[in-house]
Amino acid sequence: MPAVSPAAVPALLARNAPLRRPALAAGLLALLPVGAACAQGRPAARPAPAVPASHATVREALRVLRADNAWTLDQQASICEVPAPPFKEAARAAEYRRRLEALGLRNVRIDAEGNVIAERPGSGGGGTVVVSAHLDTVFPEGTDVKVQRSGTRMAGPGIGDDCRGLATLLAVARAYDRAKVATRGPVLFVGTVGEEGAGNLRGVRHLFAKELAGRTVDYFISVDGTGLAVTSRAVGSHRYRATYAGPGGHSYGAFGMPNPVHALGRAIAKIADLQVPSSPRTTFSVGIVQGGTSVNAIAGEASMDVDLRSESAASLDSVDAALRRALDAALAEERARWPGSTAALTLKVDTIGIRPAGSQPDDAPIVRAAVEAGRSLGFTAPTVASSTDANVPMSLGIPSITMDAGGDGQGAHSLEERYDDGAQGWLGPQWVALVVATLAGVR
């Protein structure tokens, strides 16, 4: 995994613990046979982690997940009817805590940021696995969150993203308990806050910066989304609001001074022409423009919201630097256009959100574990890139993935969101249960 550049993630590093390379090294070494580590500086091919699919208790847990699939769907629908607007996840968090406690998990608590954390102790000798799903939705307070059900289908805001993940965690914890699965490493079940949009991953940042700062986390799994793919690469994003401002004035009477709207136009023209690599995929977009008060006035202010993304921290840095050059050049050009004017023109750049990029090779043990576990359940899980809670631990060097939770989802982030469990929705929870057991080890 490439180290994340400190320049790329100032906001992250300001709030997070130091990079945790030792945890990564320990996690990888635990899965390497003695003597398999780097020969002459070249990493040896890593063996696939052993998936304990035929272990008696694990088999029983998988059976429970399939047999009690209706329980999982009931959890999914009912947790979704507890609203969880951005920054207002407390009601759903309290209910999630209650359900985790009812399943017999230990040390169930809500941390200072609002994350729900529950622990299932290990028997000793295995890695610590954090498996999480996010509590928050994109829907504002007052949204009707009633879930409509018909056979295997459900409709309601957030039903797939991420009520499916929340229900999957509950189902896995319950199946482990029923089947008396004894993992070697402890498993932490976590409901995070602030995954969506403006939440800017605040829950998972807090988790690693504060709540679990004193602990080695060997593996992190976010269960988020529907289908059966695994996110092994984290798409990072930098989002800014750039504002040009000046005194403004009458369009005719004050003509001859720098115009913030014109400066914004110059900047947008430069951004539109930025060159970015197609691999690693790197993107830019001006999403919102605002400014001005009247057709016959030089605006006092004009702003735009810009979104930059990449799978590569270096490419994200580089498009970020190009954006800043474009903004500065537009400022200089608009000032130079009116050399006789004493009116000021300023540029301010506010950070809306920073999500760190991160990637792992597809032969990383945690990715292999997910792919191999899928294979043993009879499907091939594609590896994809996305922006999820796993961005944060991945950027800190902790082996991390995001797993889909089965079924089929449509219309995420819309009021018409739908979920269909189909004929084999239970494969999602089975897959998560098997991957957690693989990573934590089973006695």
Question: Rounded to the nearest whole angstrom, what is the least distance from the CB of residue 159 to Zn ion in the complex?
Answer: 12
Taking the least distance from each CB to Zn ion, the nearer of 192 and 312 is 192
Taking the least distance from each CB to Zn ion, the nearer of 134 and 206 is 134
Q: CA-to-CA distance for 207 and 20, rounded, in angstroms?
A: 14
Map residue 327 onto helix, strand or coil. helix
Question: Rounded to the nearest whole angstrom, what is the least distance from the CB of residue 234 to Zn ion in the complex?
Answer: 14
Find all residues with CB under 8 Å of 166, minimum gap 6, and list them: 75, 76, 79, 96, 133, 134, 135, 191
Taking the least distance from each CB to Zn ion, the nearer of 10 and 140 is 140
Taking the least distance from each CB to Zn ion, the nearer of 161 and 334 is 161
Taking the least distance from each CB to Zn ion, the nearer of 89 and 161 is 161
Question: Rounded to the nearest whole angstrom, what is the least distance from the CB of residue 197 to Zn ion in the complex?
Answer: 10
Using the structure block, give the residue that is written with the tokens 């699939």.
69
Find all residues with CB under 8 Å of 137, minimum gap 6, and list them: 83, 84, 85, 86, 157, 158, 161, 196
Taking the least distance from each CB to Zn ion, the nearer of 46 and 413 is 413
Residue 400: exposure state from Cβ atoms within 10 A (0-12, 13-18, ≥19): buried
Taking the least distance from each CB to Zn ion, the nearer of 289 and 412 is 412
Taking the least distance from each CB to Zn ion, the nearer of 232 and 259 is 232
Query: Comparing C-alpha atoms, which of 18, 351, 391 is closest to residue 194?
Result: 391
Element (H, E) at 309: strand 301-310
Taking the least distance from each CB to Zn ion, the nearer of 97 and 164 is 164
Q: What is the DSSP letter of 382?
A: P
Give the chain's length: 443
The answer to whether the CB of 134 falls within 8 A of the CB of 165 is yes
Question: Rounded to the nearest whole angstrom, what is the least distance from the CB of residue 425 to Zn ion in the complex?
Answer: 17
Question: Rounded to the nearest whole angstrom, what is the least distance from the CB of residue 69 to Zn ion in the complex?
Answer: 22
Question: Rounded to the nearest whole angstrom, what is the least distance from the CB of residue 375 to Zn ion in the complex?
Answer: 25
* Complete DSSP assignment for 94-153: HHHHHHHHHTT-EEEEE-TTS-EEEEE---SSS--EEEEEE---SPPTT---PPEEETTE
* Complete DSSP assignment for 406-425: BSEEE-TTSTT-EEE-TTTT
> HSE of 352 in the Cβ direction (CA atoms, 13 Å)?
18
Distances (CA, A) of 211 to 109, 130, 186, 207, 217: 11, 12, 16, 5, 12
Question: Rounded to the nearest whole angstrom, what is the least distance from the CB of residue 105 to Zn ion in the complex?
Answer: 22
Interface residue list for Zn ion (CB under 5 A): 161-162, 224
Measured in degrees and rounded to the nearest 5, phi and psi for residue 412 equal -55, 145
Question: Rounded to the nearest whole angstrom, what is the least distance from the CB of residue 256 to Zn ion in the complex?
Answer: 51
Question: Rounded to the nearest whole angstrom, what is the least distance from the CB of residue 162 to Zn ion in the complex?
Answer: 4
